[in-house]
Amino acid sequence: MDALTLVRQDHKRVENLLERVERLDGDVAGERAVLLGQLQAALRHHVDAEEAILYPIFRERARRAGVDLAPLDQSIEQHRVITRGAGELSATAPRDPALESKLTALTVQVRTHLDTEEAELLTAIEDLLDDDTLLELGRRMEQRDRVIEARRELAEVVPGGPRTRRVAAALGGLVALATALLAVLSRRRRPPERPTGWRRLRRR
C-alpha cells in the first residue's frame, strides 16, 4: 500500500480505540487498562512511523518546491503534545480521580491532530509526492512494522533479564531486515526472460 493509505488506516485504528475507551464505564475487569495500553501503543506507532519515514521526505521535497512547511511543523508540535499527554496518562494510577480528565484532554488533542493532519498535511503531501514515491514510502513503513514485530516476538520467547531481551530484540530486527534484503536481491538477480526461439537461433 502507499504511505498515505497506511497513515489513514492508522488514523482509523486510533479513532476506534478512542471510541472503545470512551464507551467503557469505569474499569470493567481490567478491560479499560488493556485498551489504554493499546491506545498508547497505537499513538507511539503513529508518531514514530510518520516522523521516521513520511515527514522527512516531505520536508526535503517541500523545501525544494517552495511549499509552505507550516502544516508539517504544526503536526510535529501536536505529536509532542500527544506524546506528553500519553505519558502522563500512563503514569496515572487506574483509580486516580485525575485519570478521567487526563483521558479527556488526550482524546481532544488526538482528534484535533487527526482532523488537522487529514485536512491540511496529508493533502499537501498528496499534492507534492508522486505515486511511486508514496508506494516506496509505504513499503518502507510496512517493512519497519515487520522488523518491530519480529523484535517483539523474539523478545517474548527468549528468557532472561532486560539486557537479554534487548539483545534478542536486536537479533529479531536483523533477521527481519536480512529476510527483506534477500527478497530484494533475489528479484534483482533473476535472469531476464529470453525471447521464444532463442536457443534455436543460437544453434544455427
Q: What is the DSSP string of 29-71?
A: TTHHHHHHHHHHHHHHHHHHHIIIIIHHHHHHHHHHHT---HH
pLDDT of residue 30: 77
Final residue in a domain of this structure, among 77, 111, 129: 129
Q: Are 126 and 120 in contact (CB under 8 A)?
A: no
Judge if 123 and 136 occupy the same domain: no
Judge if 34 and 61 occupy the same domain: yes
Judge if 186 and 120 occupy the same domain: no
Q: How many helices (H) and strands (E) does the chain have?
A: 9, 0
pTM across the whole model:
0.73
Residue 200 lies in a domain: no
Judge if 117 and 28 occupy the same domain: yes
Residue 66 lies in a domain: yes
Residue 124 lies in a domain: yes
pLDDT of residue 99: 87
Q: How many structural domains compose the chain?
A: 2
What's the domain range around 159? Answer: 132-190
Judge if 18 and 107 occupy the same domain: yes
Judge if 173 and 124 occupy the same domain: no
pLDDT of residue 5: 96
Residues in the chain: 204
Judge if 19 and 58 occupy the same domain: yes
State the CB neighbour count (10 A cutoff) for residue 198. 9
Judge if 76 and 166 occupy the same domain: no
Judge if 146 and 104 occupy the same domain: no
Residue 111 lies in a domain: yes
Mean pLDDT by 10 residues, the chain (204 residues): 95 94 70 88 94 96 96 97 93 85 94 96 96 96 89 68 53 52 49 44 40
